[in-house]
Structure 1
Amino acid sequence: MSVYYDLYTSGNPQKKEEQQALYARVIPSGTINADKFVELVSKSNGFSPATIEGCLQAVSDELQHWLAQGWTVEVGEIGHFSLSLTCDRPVMEKKEIRSPSIHLNKVNLRINKKFRESLEPLQLERIESPYRTNNDSNEERCRTLLIQHLDKHGCITRTDFMRLAEISRNKAIELLNKFLKEEIIRKYGGGKTVVYLKE
């Protein structure tokens, strides 16, 4: 099966007058959620779903434990996990900032060479992205993708909607609020745990 991609410009607003180089981006085939992934692993290896879920949870717990102590952790042939930090503001001198002003930025994953090489060569096929358009039909396309996803998976987060429709955070918020008002969807949960369900 091919990996589909399209070509995009960098979209730098400061260089609108200049011709910009194109870069390739994968057009996602979809998202395999955690439950489906466990099911697929179980079918391909013969381990029970409960065993796989238990192992995954144990790996996750142990990974968090050692990362929280500042270690870099190698997980099988996948790669190395490590932490990166961020400061609340730009700092020129060490004495200008204290530990409470430094926070976790993200968890990095550096893929092992063997794992990466196992993906090569990719079967690539270029297509026009069905998600990229600047006209009004973009909203209809996003609505269709959203409903199809909800019919299949039951719920969606804002982040997953952004990835699914290949839209920005602000556009995703705008459309989700619009679909809420139109009573196409409803919101469940609060804060970072909000998901959207079909109305």
Structure 2
Amino acid sequence: MSAEYDFYKNPIPKGSNRKPRLHARIVPRGTVDSDMLAEEIHDASSLTPGDVEATITMLSKMIIRNLKEGNRIHIKGLGYLEMTLQCPAIKDPKEIRAESIQFKSVAFRPEIGLKKELSTTRFVRAVYKKHSKNRSAAEIDELLTRYYSTHESIARQEFQQLCGFTKGTANRRLAELVKEGKLKKEGLHKFPVYAPVPGNYRK
């Protein structure tokens, strides 16, 4: 099986007239959770799904405990995990106390063997796009003007399809339009619809 990829635009600094460059990025087929992994391991071994799930749960607890104790974790065949920290910028260690040191993230460094295995991956370009179209505010306004000429309101799913956005981008752009006073949010809390504020999107 091959992995799918697509091209995404690199961010452009404000005020720059430079044509955006593209970079390749994996298009995820989905998320494989621990339950799914347990089933796959069960199918490939004599272990029961319950045994595998219990092992994964205990492994997770042991990793967390050891990271909190300041240890670096090595998982054979995968790589190394270690905790990273953050603190205010200082010039002298005496300027800061231990209470100001905070957890930042968990860094992962893959083993050479893992990188070697992944280097043989076959890639194909995704047929179905799973990222949002890059639409300007003017383009969105034009699409909504056409839509509202025959509709009273629009739901998030309809707006998402109309503009070619992902769910996250659709929610964000709708929130921006509400904040700008172009749309008003109506309907039920879990199933809102958006209607144009008078003076917007209606000829």
Aligned positions, number: 160
CA distance in 2, matches of 1:55, 1:82: 21
> CA 1:134–1:83 in structure 2 vs 1: closer, same or farther (change >3 Å)?
same
Contact in 1 for aligned 2:34/2:56 (Cα 8 Å): no
Contact in 1 for aligned 2:83/2:105 (Cα 8 Å): yes
Which has the larger displacement, 17-26 or 99-108?
Answer: 17-26
1:103 offset after TM fit, Å? 0.4
Aligned to 1:183: 190
Aligned to 1:49: 49
1:29 offset after TM fit, Å? 0.5
1:49 offset after TM fit, Å? 0.8
Where do 5+ consecutive residues of structure 2 fail to align? 144-155, 177-184, 193-203
Contact in 1 for aligned 2:34/2:53 (Cα 8 Å): no
> CA 1:172–1:91 in structure 2 vs 1: closer, same or farther (change >3 Å)?
farther
Identify, as 1 or 2, the structure richer in helix. Answer: 1
Aligned to 2:119: 120
> What secondary structure, in the 3-state scheme, does the structure 2 residue paired with 1:28 have?
coil
Match status 1:84 vs 2:91: no
What are the Cα deviations for residues 148-180 of structure 1, in whole angstroms up to 9, with x where unaligned? xxxxxxxxxxxxxxxxx4856x839959xx799
> What secondary structure, in the 3-state scheme, does the structure 2 residue paired with 1:85 have?
strand
Aligned to 1:171: 172
Letter in 1 for 2:100: S
User: What percentage of aligned pairs have identical amino acids?
Assistant: 22
CA distance in 2, matches of 1:40, 1:62: 23
1:95 offset after TM fit, Å? 2.1
Instruction: Tell me the C-alpha RMSD between the 2 structures.
Output: 3.2
> What secondary structure, in the 3-state scheme, does the structure 2 residue paired with 1:7 have?
strand
Aligned to 1:160: none
5 Å matches for 1:35-74? 35-74=35-74
> What secondary structure, in the 3-state scheme, does the structure 1 residue paired with 2:4 have?
strand
